[in-house]
Structure 1
Amino acid sequence: NLLGIVRRRAVLEALAERAEADHLKVAGIVGGDELRSMPVGIRSRRRLAWLSINIVLNIVAASVIALYEDTLSAVIALAVFLPIVSDMSGCSGNQAVAVSMRELTLGAALPRDVVRVLRKEIVVGLINGLALGVLLGIAAWAWKGNIVLSLVVGLALALNTLLAVSIGGTVPLILKRFKMDPAVASGPILTTVTDMCGFLLVLSFASAVLPRLT
């Protein structure tokens, strides 16, 4: 056995370095380390690794819009709310990812805690989803004066927010269980799912009540 003294400063520096590396991974930089003094080719390859995958994932998400082209053509206002629904729910999901990543780093959460984390995130998702949905619904009604449109976009945002925080909170733990790096893969997975589901919710709800929107 080896005995020794580990200074507090050394521990804090190690934690800071790990947090910085995780931050770079979340940004999609493979390797988790980049300085502008590095060769351009290496920096470019590290960034392109996930950017290339994101192109495919974004095409998949955008393909949902093509399925509802007629609905979107009939109600142009929906085009304004699609990015709002996907972006706001994505932000909520990223908050959940950040909390899970921090808890994994500190040992406050383990891969086996998926159910516990999911329960807690569902409660937060319901509260925040309802609040955001009401705010967006009020904005839609104030702009267009159509209560049905406000219900469509408000309900879509509420449900997508619930989905986003549920995924954002649990995906890092699931990836960790399968020996994958949650700092790298959580972001693209969350973005694709929230975009796809956000578009699907808005456009499917709108299609169901299309006569009331035109």
Structure 2
Amino acid sequence: MRLVIARCQVDYAGRLTAHLPMANRLILVKSDGSVSIHSDDRAYKPLNWMSPPCTLRESQDDGVLEWMVSAAKSDDTLRIRIEEILHDSEHELGVDPGLQKDGVEKHLQELLAEHPTALGDGISLVRREYMTAIGPVDLLCKDDAGGSVAVEIKRRGEIDGVEQLTRYLELMNRDPLLTPVRGMFAAQEIKPQARVLAEDRGIQCVTVNYDDLRGIDDPSLRLF
């Protein structure tokens, strides 16, 4: 990554035009080819930018350094006229492992596997990641009557998750060792449309509290 702090003027031309008058700004040039211009406010959002793939060419115009950033798949250009460079450095950041969110589906699956009764009284775990012909269902459980329960877990429950569980149930109910299999859709939040579709298909919806599963939800701290 290249970091340049410079007194510069920026002109964007493409589907629209935009102009930034001469001022001190931070210019980021990333290894993916993207170029973005930042001020000392607006949080993370750049003033203007060019997304990859694009090319950057440097030239001199009347003694002023000029960067021309051109998009590869359109006629969009970002013209940066640099009057003075205050700082210029390059840094190798390496491969980023990516953002790891607390409470994503994997963690919810682990916690619900450890505490299956959070899904309902009498629910017990048979196994995690029960494989079907089109992929694994998150949890295979039994209810207190000995019936099979296929549990699909999402951080946010939406219609596509219900459709996914429906396909699993169709296949699992063909297995004479499992049938009848009922479905359970578990999430921290379930969208109203997803709930309506699930209930129409006989799938039970369960909203789970991640903090409660982790054992850090203290009822004494609640107002209600």
Q: TM-score, normalised by structure 2?
A: 0.22
Going by fraction, where is strand more abundant, 1 or 2? 2
| Higher Cα Rg, which structure | 2
Ranked by relative contact order (alpha carbons within 8 Å, sequence separation 6 or more), the top structure is: 1
